[in-house]
Structure 1
C-alpha cells in the first residue's frame, strides 16, 4: 500500500503544467482608426464591418482556450481529491496539499476569466446588432418598437450616467431586493478596442425576456429613458442578452 501511495505521489509531482506552455487568446485588434474630418459614411461602414469580423474571429479563438481551461480545472479537482486522501493516510505532507489547492484555485480563476471574456464579447456582438438595426430603421423621438428578440425605445428624457444610474439602482434594489447587474458602466477597454463610443451608456446584464428584464424596461420607458434590448440567437454568440441604456452609440472613435 505504501509503495502504491508513493507512486501516486511521484505521479502528482510529475504532472505537466500544460497551461504554462499554452498561449492565451489574444485581444481583438482595434476596429477603428483615428477619426478624420469629412470621412465618408462608406468608410465608417467598412470600419464597422472590420470590427464585426475581428470580434467574430476573437470569439472563435476563445472557445478552444475555454475548453482547455475547463479540462485543466477538472484535472486539478481530481488531483485535489487524491492529495487529500493521501494526506489523511499520512503519505503526503500538508505543504503538498496546500500547493495542490493553490493550483486548483488558479485553474478555477482561469476558467472564470475566460468565461467573463466570452460573455463580454457576446454582449459586444449583440450591441453590434443593435447598432445595425438602428441604422436601418431609425426611431423617431419617443418612438417604441418591439420585434422578436429586440426592443427599442427612443426616450425623450435627458440621460446621464451620473444622475440617472443611482435612480435605476434604487428602483431595482427596491423591486427585486438585489443589486442592478451592471455589466458595463460607460466606456470599457473592449469598447475602446472595437471603436465604439460607450461613454454615456450603461449595459445591464438582464435577459429582456425575463420578468425582471421586462419590469426594468417598463420602468425605463415610463421614465422616458432611451434603451435598446436584444436577446435570442446571434450568429457566433452563445449568450450576450442585455439591456443597453442610453442612446445607441454607432459612432466609431479612434483609440486614445
Structure 2
C-alpha cells in the first residue's frame, strides 16, 4: 500500500458528499474517488442481504481503483454491512453511524431524537449502540421516510420537503428533545430547514467531522497519510444523474458510470 493511493468513499447516493467535504477539508492533499450508487437509493428500505450485496459491489469497484482505505459514507450500509466488509477485505474500512453517544451524554432534557432510515434504526449495530449509551435517556426514533428521495431529486430546500420534515419532527417536539441526531449522511443538507423548524435550544449532531478525524487517525497510524503538498485529484462517479450530484459538488467533475 502506498501513501499516494486514493481514499475511496461510497454512499447510496449524494448524501456521502457531506462526509467527503469533511474529509477533503481535513486532508486536502489526499486523492479521493467517490461512488454515488443513486440508481439503488435509498438503501434504507432494502433487506440486509441486498445492502451487503450493494456494499460489496461498491467496495470492489473502489479496490479496483487501488484505494488504500474505504469510507462507507452511508449509515444504513455501515450498520448492516460493515462487519461483512471488514471480514472479507484486507483494507481499512471506516464506517459511519448515528452519534448517539455525545447526544445521550450531553442531554439535559433526558430526551433525544434520532432521524434515520428504517435500515439503520432496525439494525443490530444501531440497537447495540443505543442500548449501550442511551439507557437512561428517552430516545425518540423517527424514520425519515421520503427524505433521501427528496434530496436525491435535488429538492432538499423546497416547501414540500419542509412540510414533510414538519410532520416527521412532531413526535420529537412533543417530547421536548434538546438534541437531534442525524442518522443518515443525506440529512446534513436539511440542516438549514431543521434550524428553522426546531426550537433554538435543540442541538443538531451529524457524524461527518468525526468520520474525517477517524479517517486521518487510521491513515496516520498505518503510515499511509499523504503528506505531499499538492492539489488533490478528486473523482466523482454516479450511476444515475450527474447533474444532481454536480449540484452538491459544483467545484468537482462528475462522471456517469454504469455500475
User: Does TM, normalized by the shorter one, top 0.5?
Assistant: no
TM-score by length of 2: 0.23
Where relative contact order (Cα < 8 A, 6+ residues apart) is larger, the structure is 2
More helix, by proportion:
1
Say which one has the larger Rg.
Answer: 1
More strand, by proportion:
2
TM-score by length of 1: 0.23
